[in-house]
Amino acid sequence: MDPRSTLAVFSDIHSNLDALERTIGRLKIMEITNHKKFVCVGDIIGYGAEPKECIRLVRDFAIHIKGNHESYLVPGTNLRSVNPQARQAVELTRDLLTNGETESLDWLANLPDDHIQKTPLGIKIRFSHYAPNSDYGYVRNKEEAAKAFEGMDPEIKITFVGHTHQPALMVKRADGRADYLPGQDVKKHFGWDNPITLDPDEHWIVNVGSVGQPRDGDPRASVVLYDFKAHEIRFIRVDYNVEKTQKKIRDAGLADWLADRLSEGK
């Protein structure tokens, strides 16, 4: 994987500074250091204790997409459907981000819902928090993957998404069949950190998982690399100091389960 032609796609950082810093550090070891080739597909904030610090790092990225947790901070947003613990995290995040200034809140509120671009080789790709044409962004099987592809612009070859906190790979074959590989199957068939070549004649949805709160049973941070020259991806998993992050969450007065779940990866 050539660092010069590689994009790094992050999602669902959720104010977890330790996981974010360790992930960026791992990419640096791989000589992937150009933040102008870094993308975040939403949920920089929420759940964790250090939203301001995470925003400061992520603002140096090239592309930023609005997630549901950014939307929660928009004035007038109805939070009645949000569970009480997540709502508590929203209120804490708002308090931390309005301590002395509101510029970060304004920046988050104005993030776009998606971004479409062509690679230097002419392949059209899309970045979004949610999978297209899906149940609040959730795609859990082959049938739901087929439905997601129905809502996808046929000119777009790859859509990178997050939201579910679970890495996954979906493909629409040239004959129209759709396949869905959850993270455990990606690991079984390809292994973490190994290159996966994408057929340019097929359409793909790549769920990059979560940096700050993985929910696939693996507590390590997740990020996806895309080499647009080789048209290949890698799912990268990164260890970080979970106990340190858990202490920060508890010290901030957030619910214990938000800390506990990090060590379980769920």
Q: What is the mean pLDDT of residues 77-101?
A: 82
Predicted structure pTM score: 0.95
- Say which DSSP state 234 is in: E
Q: Is the pLDDT of residue 77 over 90?
A: no
Confidence of residue 88 (pLDDT cuts 50, 70, 90): confident
Cβ neighbours of residue 11 closer than 8 Å, sequence gap 6 or more: 40, 41, 42, 43, 67, 129, 161, 162, 163, 208, 209, 210, 211
C-beta of residue 171 within 8 angstroms of C-beta of residue 204: yes
CATH number, domain at 87?
A: 3.60.21.10
**Mean pLDDT over each residue of the chain, to the nearest integer:** 93
Q: What is the DSSP letter of 35?
A: G
Mean pLDDT for 213-229 is 97
Residue 22 has pLDDT above 90, yes or no: yes
Structure tokens at 240: 């970080």
Q: Are 43 and 69 in contact (CB under 8 A)?
A: yes
DSSP 133-192: TSBTTB--SHHHHHHHHHTS-TTEEEEEE-SSSS-EEEEE-TTS-EEEEEHHHHHHHT-T
Residue 75 has pLDDT above 90, yes or no: no
When mean pLDDT is compared across 41-45, 100-104, 175-179, 241-245, the lowest value belongs to: 100-104
What is each CA distance from 55 to 151, 212, 247, 261, in whole angstroms? 31, 13, 20, 23
Joined tokens for residue 133: 């044409």
- pLDDT tens per residue, range 146-205: 999 998 999 999 999 999 999 999 999 989 999 999 999 999 999 999 999 999 999 999
CA-CA distance, 205 to 92, in Å (whole number)? 33
Residue 51 has what pLDDT? 94
The percent of residues in the chain predicted with pLDDT above 70, rounded, is: 100
Q: What's the mean pLDDT in 214-231?
A: 97
Give the residue-averaged pLDDT of 131-151.
Answer: 87
Q: What percent of the chain has pLDDT over 90?
A: 79
Output the pLDDT for position 100: 65
From CA 87, how far away is CA 238, in angstroms rounded? 28
Domain that holds residue 176: 3-264
User: What number of other Cβ atoms are within 10 A of residue 217's Cβ?
Assistant: 11
Number of domains the chain is built from: 1
**108-122 confidence digits (pLDDT tens):** 999 999 999 999 989
